[in-house]
Amino acid sequence: MADLAAVKRALAAQRIETPSWAFGNSGTRFKVFAQAGVPRNPQEKIADAATVHRFTGVAPTVALHIPWDKVDDYAELRSYAESLGVGIGAVNTNVFQDDAYKLGSVTNPDAGVRRKATDHLLEAIAIMDATGSRDLKLWFADGINYPGQDDLRNRQDRLAAALRETYDRLGADQRILLEYKLFEPAFYATDVPDWGTSYAHCIELGEKATVCIDTGHHAPGTNIEFIVAFLLRQNKLGAFDFNSRFYADDDLMAGAADPFQLFRIMYEIVRGGALDPAYGINFMLDQCHNIETKIPAIIRSVMNIQEATAKALLVDRDALSRAQNDGDVLEANAVLMDAYNTDVRPLLAEVRADAGLDPNPVAAYRRSGYQERIVQDRVGGQQAGWGA
């Protein structure tokens, strides 16, 4: 049996980072449905992130996306966040929305465009210096649509050069998280399409470069927990972008589409001793709430990750290794499924009560009046969004 007190301690210590962009308007390429009360600036996004933390107790940092969260004074933004009880987490770069990037950013055949893109990555590190952020998250939309459009190998060389220059600019406690994505917006070949490509570049760069797994960025049927186990063994897993997918990069609430997959991922994290924040993995959300109310959807996502984690922590690891070593296939599977099939909601309610929180964060948020207040207050101005 798992030690319940230890399970509760691990759950209380768990940390999940929220994404500033998830509080803004988003949509598909067909339509963005604007919502009332959505933030108009980075400060309002941070206020919403602080609200998620206030009700969950486990989301004390918020990731920025530049230039969406551009401000004149990042030290001031940091103080503002801290005054609301949260810190600024990863800084995400954006080299996918400028006209110049039509044929790629750091892999573009034009050296001038590559310079512009790399300068943006360096600018993001300067922002991290001011915000006190550890993580620079890089995702490249780069790729090509047609065979022969550009030279696949040259593009890897250009990518490596930009990554090297960026890596060399990192401070002692800063690191690169290199994200990958199978396809979209490029349809024939993406320059960082999978974890192997990201891993190889991270190895080439050095120990301050690690892989970021976005759970929505794989081909259907990919065994993500295998990737987790493999990268943990190599000390190269740096972060997650959690979300759910049914088809492609759907960006739905984490744990909504496949809670069993989330459990299997979190089991590998627990198995690898990587849940403790001191291990250094940044467990982030990367979602878009196109039709549902954003703040409670993010609270729900945090809770879904907590539930998957609680189940992973409840796995009877001794019984599991016994069954595995005995070659008892059915028993080993049963041990894992026993944990998965446990209703952990009462346990999490206790953990929250122990921390002085409402056991039901979504209901508490709904009762708090925060949603009504932002709907009333945030009138006029330009609502934040990623401009689909």
Looking at this protein, which amino acid is placed at residue 291? Answer: I
Whole-number Å distance between alpha carbons of 239 and 231: 11
Residue 92 binding target from Mn ion, ligand RM4, none, CB below 5 to 8 Å by type: ligand RM4
Among 214, 225, 268, 307, binds ligand RM4 (CB under 6 A): 214
Shortest approach of Mn ion to residue 242 CB, angstroms?
A: 9
Rounded to 10 degrees, the C-alpha dihedral 293/295/299/305 comes to 80
Shortest approach of Mn ion to residue 327 CB, angstroms?
A: 39
CB closer to Mn ion out of 241 and 307: 241
- 346, two tokens: 């009462």
CB closer to ligand RM4 out of 282 and 304: 282
Among 135, 150, 286, 307, binds ligand RM4 (CB under 6 A): 286
Shortest approach of ligand RM4 to residue 240 CB, angstroms?
A: 11
Whole-number Å distance between alpha carbons of 21 and 57: 20
Among 18, 56, 92, 108, binds ligand RM4 (CB under 6 A): 92
Residue 242, phi then psi, degrees to nearest 5: -85, 140
Among 69, 135, 179, 225, binds ligand RM4 (CB under 6 A): 179
Whole-number Å distance between alpha carbons of 261 and 136: 27
Distances (CA, A) of 152 to 107, 112, 117, 148, 379: 10, 19, 19, 9, 48
CB closer to Mn ion out of 58 and 288: 288
Contact string 5-24 vs ligand RM4 (x = CB under 6 A)? ----------------x---
CB closer to Mn ion out of 246 and 353: 246
Contact between 303 and 254 (Cβ < 8 Å): no
Residue 139 within binding range of ligand RM4, rule CB under 6 A = yes
Q: Output DSSP code: residue 373.
A: H
CB closer to ligand RM4 out of 29 and 153: 29
Instruction: Considering only residues 314 through 373, tell me which ones interact with ligand RM4, judged by CB under 6 A.
Output: none
Shortest approach of ligand RM4 to residue 46 CB, angstroms?
A: 17
Whole-number Å distance between alpha carbons of 110 and 114: 6
Helix (H) or strand (E) holding 64: strand 61-65
CB closer to ligand RM4 out of 285 and 344: 285
Contacts of 208 (CB under 8 A, 6+ apart): 167, 170, 174, 175, 176
Q: Output DSSP code: residue 272.
A: T
Contact between 290 and 26 (Cβ < 8 Å): yes
CB closer to ligand RM4 out of 48 and 286: 286
Residue 241 within binding range of ligand RM4, rule CB under 6 A = yes
Shortest approach of ligand RM4 to residue 311 CB, angstroms?
A: 26
Contact between 35 and 293 (Cβ < 8 Å): yes
Using CB positions, name the residue nearest to Mn ion. 241
Shortest approach of ligand RM4 to residue 243 CB, angstroms?
A: 8
Distances (CA, A) of 156 to 79, 147, 192, 249, 360: 39, 16, 9, 24, 48
CB closer to ligand RM4 out of 14 and 26: 26
Residue 48 within binding range of ligand RM4, rule CB under 6 A = no
Residue 142 within binding range of ligand RM4, rule CB under 6 A = no
Q: Total binding residues for ligand RM4 by CB under 6 A? A: 10
Q: Which residue ranges make up the site for ligand RM4 (CB under 6 A)? A: 21, 65, 92, 139, 179, 181, 214, 241, 249, 286
